[in-house]
Amino acid sequence: MMLKSVFVCVLLVLVSFVLANPIKVTPPPEELVSIFNLEEPCVHQGGLCLLVDDCESSNLVHLPPRLLCPKQAHLGVVCCYVSQKYILIASSV
């Protein structure tokens, strides 16, 4: 019984400590995060919609962006073939 009482007291202290000192998470600045929707025409070509600066010129799908990423082309988004690096990162999330 004594062990149970000690456990409850420790648990209450921990809970009150966590509630009194919540972890402050600051989101990354928006300019560091670029999330774009998958668009069917680009995916059918085997690519992802990325900012033109994030796509190596050798991986650029050579069709007009307005055809492959039509909803996001005005944001500077192009269809880009993805390297194995991006596939591994995306699959490990």
Q: What local confidence, expressed as pLDDT, does residue 93 receive?
A: 45
Helix or strand (DSSP H, E) at 49: strand 47-51
Domain residue limits, the chain:
28-91
Q: What local confidence, expressed as pLDDT, does residue 11 receive?
A: 81
Residue 51: strand pairing partners:
77
**Distance between CA atoms of 80 and 54, rounded to whole angstroms?**
9
72-83 pLDDT, tens per residue? Answer: 999 999 999 976
Q: Would you place residue 21 in the very low, low, confident or very high pLDDT band (cuts 50, 70, 90)?
A: confident
Share of the chain above pLDDT 70, in %: 78
Helix or strand (DSSP H, E) at 78: strand 77-81
- What count of residues does the chain have? 93
pLDDT reading at 68 higher than 90: yes
